[in-house]
Structure 1
Amino acid sequence: MTSRKGRSRRNSDCTAGGLRPALRAPHRSRRHEGVEQAFVIGVLTSAADFARARAWGVSDAPDHERYLADTAELLADALERFETVRARMFHPQDFEEFCVLHGLDPAEPAARDRYLVNPPLRTQLLVYQGEELAGDFVPRLVRARENGLTLRHADLLLDGALLGSAGPAEADEEHACWVRAAHQRGSEVFRRMLVGAGAGVYELRLRVDAPGGRLTAAARVLQWEDGVVRINDEELELVCAVLCAGLALELPAVAVLHGSQGSAASCGEYLPAAWAWSSGGPDWAPAARPVRLDGVAAQPGYSLGTVC
């Protein structure tokens, strides 16, 4: 399965945690003494969040629209200076809770720096590559936060083996191998769903009934006739993680793949399609009856075992 862009490399992060329109990360070349540098920033994604965070002195902008314009300029500057530029949603409530937990003053820039690169929250980071900030990128930041919370939930269910968050003393190679095997099975399930669907534009919706609350995931997929798939990396990661948790713990789950089947090569003919599968154990199978998930109705899907 080919994703939209490659995985980012591990970097030594130089943070720009303050949200003021000024580049606060060290002004270094793209590589400093052989170490790849990265720029990390938090983005207030809504006018309400912007208003709530102004008390902490995070921006001099008069309103959210001007703030986004200033942030876009800062990001463009960062792209010229740093090997990697990353962003995540700056969520005021999350930030306040983080400061209370660690005894930090939210008005101090150092508190924002620590919040942005807090290891448990790194699943919310996205690589910025020059996208229009106020266009698709801001909604992706919002989804990345929601996806990150789901990833953390799945990781806790799997005792830290999914994201590698278990401490060295807690590491259990047999358990880790078990989780890796479940992740591979989940990835294969998703691959077979897409191969069976063929070329088209689809959305996968996934729900796993897990202890502590449901795990949910969604991914938008564009698949060409030659099997090449276009999908956001963060959505692919979340789908595979939720499938992994469901299979590893044998939890009740349901998935719906729906959209338009077809391609320009077939004279531009597109047909509506919606398939459903379910799982309650180590495998996935066509749903036993029609399914409605998040308002989408689907008929039992094809057997994944017949898909190569």
Structure 2
Amino acid sequence: MAHTDQTDQTMRRVLRREIAGTIGLLTDEHDFRAMRRYRSFTFHDHTAYLRQVESLLRARAAQGTHTTVALFDPDEYADFCTAAGLDADASASRARFTAELATHGPTVPYAGQPLTDLLPALVDEAVRQATWEYTSTLLARLGNCATCGEDLGRAAFTRASGLLRRVLETAPPGSRHLVCSVSGHPQETLVSVLLVDEETDGTPHIDEAEGLEFTSVLALGLATHSPGGLVMRISAPGGPDRIHGWSLRGYGLEPLTAAQVFDAYCTDAESGDLISPESNVDYCAPPDLGADRLPPGHHH
């Protein structure tokens, strides 16, 4: 009997390694203070709380257990408890909310990185998801073209996808850092960043979530004819970085001249003062995207 009990305990330990976990993290002092109103939340110092979270993450990783870190928002938690009829001042309710975050909220897998690296990555993921949801909503609200019935948001997304593909296809070899900014919306200027590395065969490697967010921001700018632009910095071993730029014009991208790219990078946006150019950087006109290789735009 003792042997059977010991075997069962061993098997349960093995099974525990098969269970993935999620921890909801309060990333800043403001959110931490908001949770302190609950008596069941027993932490008193945010720094100590973060230290304990990091120790727990390391311990789980040492046991071979996978953990995902989710951004815990106290306001969303309170709304969740109200909608579900749960007692917000209970650890079980926080656990249920965290389980929901694992499915729908911004998360980052823990891979042994310091919490100082994980926190900004988690915040970036939250911003990325919020931007994607916001732009997707606005694109959906555009409805259908009154003339031809085409879905305007979908057409803009298709156009933006084609433009991004051509930007990457025509770019010189190297790692690419792209930034798309679109202004003129109820919120502040929308900005999306896309990092693209090359695979061994030269094809671009794009994170799917980052690619969707970037494309949706570009699509919104195209569909609403908003002021905006796209810049790309290319870094390759053994040579200077190259910077290309385009402005959003009509339903496409208009290439910037080398002088315009230089002015954009070497002028302070607020004061208008000149900024010293970076060393080992070339400001260049972009390659021709080839209008015949792009999906048609919607012109009604």
TM-score by length of 2: 0.64
- String of CA shifts for 1:56-100, please: whole Å, max 9, x gaps: 357655533332232234334555576x64322223344345556
Q: Distance in 2 between matches of 1:120 and 1:305?
A: 42
Match of 1:39 in 2: 21
Aligned to 2:288: 303
Listed as ranges, the matches of 1:1-308 within 5 Å are 29=16, 38-56=20-38, 60-61=42-43, 63-76=45-58, 85-96=67-78, 98-99=80-81, 105-118=87-100, 122-126=104-108, 128-159=109-140, 182-209=156-183, 212-213=186-187, 214-223=189-198, 226-229=201-204, 232-247=207-222, 249-259=223-233, 261-264=234-237, 268-281=238-251, 283-287=252-256, 290=260, 292=264, 295=269, 301-305=286-290
Q: Secondary structure at the match of 2:89?
A: coil
Displacement after TM superposition at 1:290 (Å): 3.4
Query: Match of 1:159, SS?
Result: helix
Letter in 2 for 1:191: R
Separation (CA, whole Å) in 2 of partners of 1:156 and 1:117: 25
Partners of 2:16 and 2:87 in 1: how far apart? 32
Distance 1:305 1:141 in 2: 38
- Percent identity of paired positions between Structure 1 and Structure 2: 24
Query: What amino acid is aligned across from residue 260 of structure 2 in structure 1?
Result: P
CA 1:182–1:94 in 2, change beyond 3 Å: closer, same or farther? same
Cα distance change, pair 211–55 in 1 and its aligned pair in 2 (3 A): same
Structure with greater strand share of residues: 1
Q: Distance in 2 between matches of 1:63 and 1:193?
A: 48
Superposed displacement of residue 196, structure 1? 2.9
- Contact kept, 8 Å, 1:68 with 1:133, in 2: the verdict is no
CA separation in 2, counterparts of 1:181 and 1:120? 32
Q: One-letter code of the match for 2:241?
A: L
Q: Report how far residue 250 of structure 1 moved.
A: 4.3
Distance in structure 2 (CA, Å) of the matches to 1:118 and 1:48: 22
Deviations 1:151-195 (A, max 9, x none): 22122223399xxxxxxxxxxxx988x756644443332232233
Query: How far does the alpha carbon of each residue in 1:189-210 deviate from its partner, in whole angstroms, 9 at most, with x for none?
Result: 2232233332344432212346
Q: How many residues are matched?
A: 256
Structure-2 change in CA distance of 1:114 and 1:155 (3 Å): farther
Q: Which protein is richer in helix relative to its size?
A: 2
The residue identity in structure 1 corresponding to 2:214 is: V
Inter-partner Cα distance in structure 2 for 1:74 and 1:160? 44
Which ranges in structure 2 are unaligned for 5 or more consecutive residues?
Answer: 1-13, 143-148, 270-274, 278-282, 294-300
C-alpha displacement of 1:148: 1.7
Counterparts of 2:112 and 2:218, CA distance in 1: 30
What is the CA–CA distance in structure 1 between the aligned matches of 2:80 and 2:40, rounded to whole Å? 16
Pairwise CA distance, 1:239: 0.7
What CA distance in whole angstroms lies between the structure 1 residues aligned with 2:102 and 2:221? 21
Alignment gaps of 5+ in structure 1: 1-26, 32-36, 162-173
* CA RMSD between the two structures: 4.3
Report the residue type matching 2:202 in the other structure: G
User: In 2, are the aligned partners of 1:203 and 1:220 still within 8 Å (CA)?
Assistant: yes
Question: Matched residues in 1 for 2:102 and 2:55: separation?
Answer: 28
- Secondary structure of 1:112's partner? helix
Tell me the distance in 1 between the aligned counterparts of 2:292 and 2:286: 12
- Give the conservation status (yes or no) of the 8 Å contact 2:57–2:110: no
**Which has the greater radius of gyration?**
2
